[in-house]
Amino acid sequence: MKTHTILMPLDMHLHLRDGVMLENVAPLTAYSFSGGIIMPNLVPPVNTLEDVKAYRARIMAAVPNDFFEPYMTLFYRNYDKAFLQSVADEITAIKLYPAGITTNSEGGVSSFDIEEMRETLEAMSDLEIPLCVHGETDGFVMDREAEFMSIYELLAKNFPKLKIIMEHITTKDAVEMLDKYENLYATITVHHLLLTLDDVIGGMMMPHLFCKPIAKRPEDLDALLSVALSAHPKVMFGSDSAPHPQHKKESCGCAAGVFTAPIALQLLCEIFEQYDKLDNLQDFVSDNAQRIYGICPEFKEITLEKRPFVVPEHYSSVVPMYAGEAINWAIASVD
Ligand code: NCD
Ligand code: ZN
């Protein structure tokens, strides 16, 4: 049987939520990943030192049987340097959301006034805290990411020492931006390596494939595949696995988010094998992130094998991507 081994997989964009949901989903990621960048969009958002420490403790309590490193983040607002100094050792990045653009982002940034943001962003540059960005405007849904490119340019030019991560990129425009500025990096999800808008709304409307940013056009998918499959050195895997209870996905008004945590590595193997690029998967799913973030996860070895695996219909209250369907790779062992 064909097998493939991955060392220290990292999920550089992950929603673990809180409470019962955290207890349900955190073990699924901790089983097969060494660590993950934990998104701060709780209600209320994670934005004090106490919040970060307490949330980290709740995550650790939810994964008692696995070694897993939660790389914590703060929810961006304009912070002063003294505060950032006090929190720097506890966080790996700060996540910026434009106000109201996605789930639980109401307290985000409502105007990108560089002078108002300067103190925070200069302090982050000095303290070497990367800025992760949800890059969408409130324009027409298919153009939101492309419209945000001018804001990425503004940030990249004004803060050349700040590492800026374009989160969950979905467009050719964002791929092209990567090579334009030294300090721009990106995460890519597994679902955006598989889907276009057609898969979401082209036939029956598929609530479990609906997320923000929405999957785009075939040429965007091709651009994402080209940088992921070649493990472009500025690109990292970030699942953006975003669980919502089934009733919030299958009701009138579907919450945005695709839940992929338990099948992400299997799907990545399938995609990289399909294009004969399995040799590049290690860089995409771990080594690039280790280098970009300067992190050093503890040893974990995941072996996958090529055999059909039927994705469960539910993980407790959450329906995963491809629920009930067979995918072509399965996890064989974790050491
Ligand atoms: C995320 C969530 O549910 O928290 N939703 C999503 O569609 N990706 C938020 C986000 O990353 O935009
Ligand atoms: Zn997200």
Whether residue 11 lies in the annotated active site: no
Q: What is the count of structural domains for the chain?
A: 1
Among residues 102, 115, 218, which one has the least CA distance to residue 167?
A: 102
Return the closest-CA partner of residue 236 out of 193, 176, 170, 189. Answer: 189
CA dist 242 and 237 (Å) reads: 15
> In this predicted model, what pLDDT tens digit does every residue of 176-215 receive, in sequence order?
999 999 999 999 999 999 999 999 999 999 999 999 999 9
- pLDDT surpassing 80 at residue 275: yes
What is the SS3 assignment for 334?
strand
CA–CA distance, 101 with 216 (Å, rounded to integer):
17
Decide: 13 in ligand 1 pocket, CB within 6 A: no
Per residue in 89-132, pLDDT (tens digit) is 999 999 999 999 999 999 999 999 999 999 999 999 999 999 99
Q: CATH number of the domain that 31 lies in?
A: 3.20.20.140
Residue 318 pLDDT > 90, yes or no? Answer: yes
Rounded to an integer, what is the distance from CA 170 to the centroid of its chain? Answer: 12
**Exactly one of 51, 240, 283, 287 is catalytic; which is it?**
240
Q: Domain range holding 76?
A: 3-334
One-letter amino acid for residue 133 of the chain = V
pLDDT the model gives residue 64: 80
**Alpha-carbon 213 to chain mean position:** 11
- Binding site, by residue number, is 13, 15-17, 41, 95, 134, 168, 240, 244, 256
Inform me whether the pLDDT recorded for 65 exceeds 80: no
For ligand 1, say whether the CB of 257 is within 6 Å of any of its atoms.
Answer: yes
